[in-house]
Structure 1
C-alpha cells in the first residue's frame, strides 16, 4: 500500500494518491492533473476512482480533467447531485483498491454531501481517514457555506453528530488526512500540521473535546468571518463542470507586444501584475493590480479579481504559464494574453509607468508629529488588528477593498501610510488604491512586524474600523 499527500501551499490544499497492487485512486485532485498521472506511471498503476469529499468552494477540483484523461469513475458521498456523470455512493459503501479498500462515511456538517473516506488495510483494519473539510488538525470545517435552506446552526448540529458518531469512534492510531492545512478559509483556525491522528485530535481539538451539542454549535459558529467572495463561484463550477485546462491555456498563452497590451487595456482588460511585491513597487504599468506569485496568490486573486472581465498579465519572465494555471485553480478562464518580455519590455518601449513609494518604520514615526493629515491604514484582517495595532491606525482589511464604498472616505489631502503584517498585502492594497486614483500614499516596509518595535510607534489593542 502506498499513500502520498500532495500539498499545495498557496491554497493550503491537500490531495491524496493511494495505490495498491497496481490500482490507484485520487482524493480531491487539483485542476492541473499531471502530478497524478506521473505518480500513476511511476507506480505502474491505473487510476480507477476519483473520490471527492464534497463540492469544494476554495478551488476548482480536477475531477473532470482526471476522469477524461484516465477513464476513472468520479465518486461522491450521499446527497451529492452533479451535472456530469458521477457515482453517488451509499453510506458505509466499500470500494476495493487492490489489496486495500476505502469505506464511505457520510459526515454532513461542513456541507450536506460532505463525506470522509476510511482506508482499510490489507487486514481490513482502519489505517487512515481522509476527512475533507469535516475534520482538520485542530479545527473543523465551517458550517456556513453552502447548506441549501439550512442555517449554520443546523449544519453545525449535523457536524456534531458526524464527529461523534463517525469520527470519534475510530481507533486512536488512525491517521487523519484533511483536505486543508494552516491558512485555509474553510475553517476558523487550523493547526500548523497537515496530518494528525484520531487520538491526537480527540485530546487537543476543541471540536472533538466538546460533549454538549448546544455549546459545540455556539463554539463552531462563533467568530466566523465572511467567506472569500469567490467561494460560491468555485462551488458552482465544481458541481456543474468547466472548460478544460488545455482550452484555458490556449486562450491565455498569447504573447503581446507593448502596443497590443496597451490596446487590450484600453479596450477594458484588467492588468494583473504577478511579479514580486518589491519589484512591482519599483515600477509598473499604470492601472495594474499587484498580486505576487510569492504569497497566497490564488486566494487573493479569487477574492479581488473579476471573473467576467478579460485579464492580461505582467508576469515574471518564464512564469506566465504558472500564473495561468494557478488562476485556473480558483476558476479563472478569462486571461487573454501576457506582456511578452514582462515589465522590462514596457519600459524599453518608453511607455508611461507608475510606482509606489516605500518608507521604513522610523520614517513614519518621524512624520507623525509633523503631519496632521497623516493616516495609518492597516490592511490586515480584523482579528490581526485587534491583537495589536499602531495607535490611531484605521483598519480596512484587504479583503474588503473591492467594495466600491470602502475607499470613498479617503480625502484628497490625506497622506496615507499603508501596511500589513509583512509587506505582501500592503502592496496589493496600494495598487488597488492607485487604480482608484488615490496616489498620496506610501507603503511601510516590513509591515507591522517591523513597526511594532519602532520607537515612536505605540502599539495598542483598541479596535478602530474604517467603514
Structure 2
C-alpha cells in the first residue's frame, strides 16, 4: 500500500494518491492531473476511484478531467440543493475495497452540506482506521470554516461539531489527512505542518478542546472569514465540472507595445514586490506569483483576457498554472521584465518604499492629511496596530477606502509589505496619486519595539 501527498503551493491544497495492489484512488484531485497519472504509471496501478470530500470554493476540481482520462468513477457527498452532475453519490457507511485498502465513508457536514470524510483501513491489520481524509472538516490545528450558509450559521456550526466527534471516534491512532495546510483561505489557525493524528488533535487543537456544543457554536459564529468574489465561480465550475485539464502552459511572449495596447485585457505584474516598486507599467495589478492563489480572485475578471509581466518564462508558466487552478484560463501572453519597456522609451511608473523611521516620524508629527492605511485582515488589525492607522482589507479595496481623499498622501502597510504592494497597485489604478508602501510593515514595527494598540 502506498500513499502520496500532492501539494499545490499558493493554494496550500493537499490531494492524495492511494494505491494497493494494482489499483489506486485519488482524493480531492487538482485540475492539472499529470502528478496522479505519473504516480499510477510509476507504480503500475490503475486509478479506479476518485473521492471528493466536498465541493471546493477555492480551487477547480480535477475530478472530471482525471475521470475522462482514466475511466475512474467519481464519488461525492449528498447535496440535493445543488447536485454534482459529474459524480455519483457516496453516503454514510458505503465502502470501497482495492487491494489491502478499504475506504469507509463518513458523512461530515458543517463546512459544506455535502462534506464527506473517508476512513482508511488496512485489511491486513484491521484494528481501527489507519487514517482519515477529512477534507475541510478538520485541519492540523484548526477546523473548517462554517460561514457559507449565513442564514443557517448556528445550525451548520452545530453540524460541524457533531461531524468532528464522528471523526474522532475513529480513534487516536488514525493519521489525519486534510485537504489544506497553513496558508489556505479555508482556515486561519492551521499549524505550520502537514502531519498529525486524531489523538494529537484531540489534545491540542483549540477548537476540538471545546467540548460543549453550544460553546463551540458560539466560537464558530464569532469567527470572521473573507469570501473572495471568485468563490462563486468555483462553486459553479465544481457543480458542473471544471472542463479541460491545463498543462504546464506557457502563454506566448508579447512585445512591450502589447502592454500599452491591451484591447481590454487585464495586465498583471507577477514579478514581486521590489520589482513592481522599482518600475512597472502604469495600470498593472501587482500580484506576486506566490500570492496569485490568495488574491487574484478578488480583483481579476475570469471572463477577460490576462497579460502577465513576469521575470522569465518559468515564472509566467507557473503563474498561468496557478491561475488555471482557480478557474482563470484566459492568459493570452506574457512579457519578460521591464527593461525592454524602458528601452523602447515607453512610460513606466514606480512606488516609493518607506521604512519604519519614516512612518514613525509621520505618526509622531501627525502629518497633515496623511493616512496610514492598514490592509491586513480585521482579526490581525484588532490584535495590534499602529495608533491612528485606518483599516481597509486589501481584498475589499477600493470600496473600503472610499473615505480617503484621492489627492492626499497614503502609506499602505500590512504584515510585511507584500499585501500592501497589492493594495497600492489597486489604489493607483482607481485614482489615488500619492501612495507609498511601508516595506517591512508590522513585522518591522514590532521589531523596532514601537507601541501597538488593540481593538478598532
Q: Same fold, TM exceeding 0.5?
A: yes
Contact 2:14/2:179 (<8 A) preserved: yes
Cα drift, residue 247 of structure 1: 9.0
Question: Is residue 344 from structure 1 mapped to residue 339 from structure 2 by the alignment?
Answer: yes
Q: Distance in 2 between matches of 1:105 and 1:458?
A: 49
Q: Normalising by the residue count of structure 2, what TM-score does the alignment of the two structures yield?
A: 0.93
C-alpha spacing 1:225/1:214, structure 2 compared with 1 (3 Å)? same
Report the more deviating stretch, 150-159 or 354-363. Answer: 150-159
Q: Helix, strand or coil for the counterpart of 2:10?
A: helix
Cα drift, residue 189 of structure 1: 2.0
Q: Distance in 2 between matches of 1:19 and 1:83?
A: 25
C-alpha spacing 1:332/1:197, structure 2 compared with 1 (3 Å)? same
Cα drift, residue 246 of structure 1: 4.3
Question: Is residue 461 from structure 1 mapped to residue 454 from structure 2 by the alignment?
Answer: yes
Cα drift, residue 70 of structure 1: 1.6
Q: What root-mean-square deviation, in Å, do the aligned CA atoms of Structure 1 and Structure 2 show?
A: 2.1
Matches within 5 A, 1:26-425: 26-79=26-79, 82=83, 84-123=85-124, 124-125=126-127, 126-145=129-148, 147=149, 151-164=152-165, 166-246=166-246, 249=249, 253-264=251-262, 267-294=263-290, 296-318=291-313, 319-339=315-335, 341-368=336-363, 369=365, 371-402=367-398, 405-425=399-419
Q: Distance in 2 between matches of 1:408 and 1:163?
A: 42
Contact 2:133/2:179 (<8 A) preserved: yes
Contact 1:137/1:196 (<8 A) preserved: yes
Cα drift, residue 275 of structure 1: 0.3
Q: Normalising by the residue count of structure 1, what TM-score does the alignment of the two structures yield?
A: 0.91
Q: Distance in 1 between matches of 2:261 and 2:247?
A: 24
Contact 2:76/2:84 (<8 A) preserved: no
C-alpha spacing 1:139/1:458, structure 2 compared with 1 (3 Å)? closer
Unaligned runs of 5+ in 1: none
Question: Is residue 433 from structure 1 mapped to residue 436 from structure 2 by the alignment?
Answer: no
Contact 2:252/2:334 (<8 A) preserved: yes
Cα drift, residue 462 of structure 1: 4.3
Cα drift, residue 99 of structure 1: 1.7
Q: Distance in 1 between matches of 2:134 and 2:383?
A: 31
Cα drift, residue 83 of structure 1: 5.1
> Which deviations, in whole Å up to 9, do the C-alpha atoms of 1:98-123 show, x marking residues without a partner?
12111111111111110000111132
Q: Distance in 1 between matches of 2:251 and 2:7?
A: 26
Unaligned runs of 5+ in 2: none
> Which deviations, in whole Å up to 9, do the C-alpha atoms of 1:436-462 show, x marking residues without a partner?
12121111121111123447x542224
Report the more deviating stretch, 51-60 or 238-247. Answer: 238-247
Cα drift, residue 408 of structure 1: 2.5
Q: Distance in 2 between matches of 1:462 and 1:167?
A: 36
Q: Distance in 2 between matches of 1:259 and 1:38?
A: 40
Cα drift, residue 316 of structure 1: 2.0
Cα drift, residue 411 of structure 1: 1.6
Q: Distance in 2 between matches of 1:359 and 1:259?
A: 32
Cα drift, residue 365 of structure 1: 2.5
Cα drift, residue 401 of structure 1: 0.8
Report the more deviating stretch, 81-90 or 212-221. Answer: 81-90
C-alpha spacing 1:15/1:248, structure 2 compared with 1 (3 Å)? closer
Contact 1:168/1:208 (<8 A) preserved: no
Cα drift, residue 216 of structure 1: 1.9
Q: Distance in 1 between matches of 2:181 and 2:4?
A: 15
